[in-house]
Amino acid sequence: MLKQDSMQVSQDQPIYYEAPLQLLLFIDGRPKSKQQVQRIRAYLQQLEAEYKFELQIIDVGQQPYLAEHFKLVATPALIKIHPEPRQILTGSNIITQLKTWWPRWQTAVDTYLQLQEDLEECIDDNGQVSQPQSTIRSVAVSAELIKLSDEIFHLKQEKEQLLEQLQFKDRVIGMLAHDLRNPLTAAAIAIETLQSNYNPETGEFKSLKPALIAHLFKQARNQTKTIDRMIADLLQVGRGHDKEFSITPQKIKLGVVCFDILEELRDRYTTKSLKIETDIPNDLPCVYADPERIRQVLINLLDNAIKYTPEGGTINIAGLHRTTQKVQFSIGDTGPGIPPENRELIFENHYRLERDEGTEGYGIGLCLCKRIIRAHYGQIWVDSNPQGGALFHFTVPVYPF
């Protein structure tokens, strides 16, 4: 509620009533403004001895919505709210301004009272003289409406966030059922093949050549790594993009990391007869980055390239010393590409292209890539591949020599 100053009305009068002149004094709890407020109130008491008015004292710390209602940028502030027009006095010289404006306010009140006398003949349907609504009361109501409006807005935001989380949960369940099936099946087949051919008495694998045994062990290991990476990506994205993303940068050779990942993914792209073209200069400078995080970026981008490139297609990988401070890395495919209107959206959390609903898509992996690259003060974006398909780029800082 508004705090009513004790110098205006007697105890038998209501808190809200119609006064010819109505003023609001906005104050705050700063020690520096305390003396100024005391001087203003003392001066107003002197004025009240000659001219009655209603004054309400408002602490902006307790009533911030009223300060918002009047769009105040500084306190203390004295506002004439009745009669119209409204007027706001602020600054360190409020008393000086009052000396100038007080006679004019008195004239405005006299004019208002004269108009009230002329309107006393206006009778409402109940046979009573119409009285204007209390201005100070309407201010309090407006402040409450602003507060309720803000609360409704925040509740709507919370509702949207909860709905988004529920949708994300459903997507995660769908993804786990769909995307994890392939690596789980591949790992299970490799392990079952090894188990069915293992002789515990001799400790050997019957009917399996050493090269095939090594391949099956590698297949099982790589598929379990894929499952672990997918779960880790989900957990990291699920923490929310608004939280700090920590990295531990060090000196690394980006080309070496990329070739290691290509070796891990060899079975996947050779199965589809994909051609891998690389253009990574030997003198490409080392970068200053978190090796595990950058591996996540490269794995996600290469995984998408393999996933979307049709059989017999081509994947291009290139490194470029873009500036003295940045290295640019690019990965292109000959898949369906990304529509121009979706090229920003695909990096947002939970976003999927409409064409990819029900299939594996450019999903949480790209959102995670964006967070990682931004944590390195770099950029990530996608263009059209001149050979058709998508061409992803990202930049990371050069390691300082």
**Does residue 170 contact residue 100 with C-beta atoms inside 8 Å?**
no
Q: Rounded to an integer, what is the distance from CA 86 to the centroid of its chain?
A: 38
Nearest CA among 299, 339, 335 for reference residue 314: 335
Q: Which amino acid is at 61?
A: G
Cα–Cα distances (Å) from 286 to 252, 254, 377, 400, in that order, read: 5, 7, 16, 9
| Owner of token pair 């309090």 | 140
pLDDT of residue 6: 39
Q: For 71, phi and psi rounded to 5 degrees?
A: 55, 45
**Does residue 249 contact residue 289 with C-beta atoms inside 8 Å?**
yes
pLDDT of residue 13: 34
Report how far residue 72's alpha carbon sits from residue 140's, in angstroms, rounded to the nearest whole number: 16
pLDDT of residue 234: 66
> Along the chain (401 residues), what's the average pLDDT of each consecutive run of 10 residues?
42 45 88 88 88 86 80 86 86 90 87 73 52 55 64 81 74 62 81 87 83 86 78 63 70 94 88 94 93 89 91 95 90 90 78 50 70 92 89 93 64
Q: What is the pTM of this model?
A: 0.49
